[in-house]
Structure 1
């Protein structure tokens, strides 16, 4: 079988020919190179991807909020936020190689003793051992520490074996039966209610939860959750946070919702065209039917609240705190109310709004993602955003007026003492206050106040 002879390459016989072949600066060679390139402009059907430094922080945010790094769970939101399209392979390469992030399943070169210490630090925030490996993994992930679930489980078995027995379903009381819920999308209905199980320590809690995604929208620690003007402030704070009000609010028949009810009815009627007869702006329910928020109190108390009471009571039992001593009581309030609020915000963010809900095909509400994902990208889960937008200046004015009206019911220390406490705190170097060290800071501040 004959083959076509290959054409021999021309051998340069002078300096000019040799220069043409090397093609360092020759125009003809440059033009020839462009002709031979398949895509000399480098442009194709794909949209231009911004430089990595422009989107690195956003990638880190999505990476932190997705413990399992599931591309399909957050890619739609990523592209929507930036107006770009980017392939999984390219994002993964940028994420792993250029930014230095890694998944928990591989690429984690953290020493075992360091992983163990991080897990133990997280467990120290939960003295009653209410959280399982999955919740601990999510908390560590949001803090930027990628540790595998199996590794966390092994560490917890080594150091807190009894916690697994406490969390076993047969060791708990049966939960309240939940009736099926339906909703069109986020902000169709906000469910509001108060929680009283921390009142023994002086902390009232009031919360607002979204019906569609189960998102903990706005939860506040208050001296009392029984005043209508206080609940009105909480409702307006939530409205300002999201830029509007829902189509409908819902609550039980408690008198404390009067101001919130008035805000909802007024703003919805002013800034939407919904018929108040066909779709009431507010629905009053019995406590057993106000299931959206009622069903959330049990995990809040038995996962977060019991630990708050444990840390708080431990300081009362050591004998240093003097009941009836005004300075001691004011200092305790000054330290504990903000500390409990920060802890509550962390609980809502880590253990609720970024907690992945397993896929449930029979469920009428969204599943297979986190509540934050349900709100950020409702169309991906078959919903639509129902928020009734209200101009920011209007919300700012109403909130300022409501806070002025409710200031006496929301104040947990006197104004004069607040100034004094601020000075003592600065003298201590403004240490970070957590539930674990709150009573240590209390002792130091009492000693500082005695010298002032």
Structure 2
């Protein structure tokens, strides 16, 4: 990247992969190698998602905040402004820079979001709603232990053990009730069927009959 002078997003992604990701991958390997987590086991997969994904998102948010609010070391060979990235982005005039941001109204994307990606659809839920109620109550009964790098697998195993006692052998058939969450993995399908109530993308054609003529996605935008 240093030789090719790659764009900043690529630089940021590379730094994230080298600085942030390896530590998390090592933590996850512990559970897999110890036999605590098998992604093919439904109850383990749901518990893993419920515990791991919010923790990972929280750490990613912290990483993003730290990077965006920390001034980079000044490179005297460049004429670009130097300072705290978030502040430069918000107040470019303070750094004698031009503002090239393109603003838009959120309402412009509201129709597409509601049509093609309704936020209340199951695909956007971390786990099924009824499972979330059960594991949230179990987590509360366990004292709401903090999830961090040292405690992650302990919290996971505690919740998994209590879930097994609560669910397995009980009135709830977990495969029948929540097995759909792993259907694409079990069947090995590469494509998903169109969700009920949604529409296919217009293939570049706008509602007014206009077409996208660019080269992205073979001209489909």
- Aligned-pair distance for 1:418? 2.2
* Equivalent residue, structure 2, for 1:373: 87
Is residue 70–residue 84 contact of structure 2 (8 Å, CA) maintained in 1?
A: yes
CA change 1:407–1:386 in 2 (3 A) is farther
Q: Structure 1: 5+ residue runs without aligned partners? A: 1-174, 180-288
Shift of 1:384: 3.2
User: Which of 65, 71, 82 is matched with 1:349 structurally?
Assistant: 65
Q: Deviations over 1:296-318 (max 9, x none)?
A: 22210111000110111122222
1:301 correspondence with 2:17? yes
364 and 400 in structure 1: CA distance in 2 versus 1, 3 angstrom threshold: farther
- Per-residue deviation, 1:382: 2.1
Partners of 2:77 and 2:114 lie apart in 1 by 44
> Between Structure 1 and Structure 2, whose CA radius of gyration is higher?
1
In structure 2, list runs of 5 or more residues that go unmatched. Answer: 167-221
The 2-side partners of 1:324 and 1:391 are apart by: 42
Alignment of 1:228-243 (within 5 A): none
Alignment root-mean-square deviation, CA: 2.7
| CA distance in structure 2 between the partners assigned to 1:399 and 1:323 by the alignment | 30
Partner of 2:8: 292
Helix, strand or coil for the counterpart of 2:117? Answer: helix
Would you identify which runs of 4 or more consecutive aligned residues in structure 1 move more than 6 Å? none
Aligned residues: 166
**Residues 411, 432 of structure 1: alpha-carbon distance in 2 compared, 3 angstrom cutoff:** same
SS in 1 for 2:10: helix
Match of 2:152 among 434, 438, 449: 438
Quote the Cα distance in structure 2 between the aligned partners of 1:333 and 1:318.
Answer: 18
Distance 1:302 1:427 in 2: 38
How far 1:336 sits from its partner (Å)?
A: 0.8
Question: Whole-Å Cα distance in 2 between the matches of residues 430 and 397 of structure 1?
Answer: 39
In the alignment, the residues of structure 1 paired with residue 36 and residue 88 of structure 2 have an alpha-carbon distance, to the nearest angstrom, of 47
**Corresponding residue for 1:387?**
101
Which fold has the larger relative contact order, with Cα–Cα distance below 8 Å and residues 6 or more apart in sequence? 2
Question: Could you tell me how far 1:319 is from its partner in structure 2?
Answer: 2.5
Structure with greater strand percent:
1
1:321 counterpart residue number: 37
Give deviations 1:263-290, integer Å, cap 9, x for gaps. Answer: xxxxxxxxxxxxxxxxxxxxxxxxxx7x
Structure 1 position 419, deviation (Å): 2.4
TM (norm. structure 1) is 0.33
Contact 1:340 1:435 in 2 (8 A): no
Q: Do the aligned residues in 1 keep the contact of 2:88 with 2:95 (CA within 8 Å)?
A: yes
Are the equivalent residues in 1 in contact too, given 2:122–2:128 (CA < 8 A)?
Answer: no
Quote the residue 1:331 is aligned against: 47
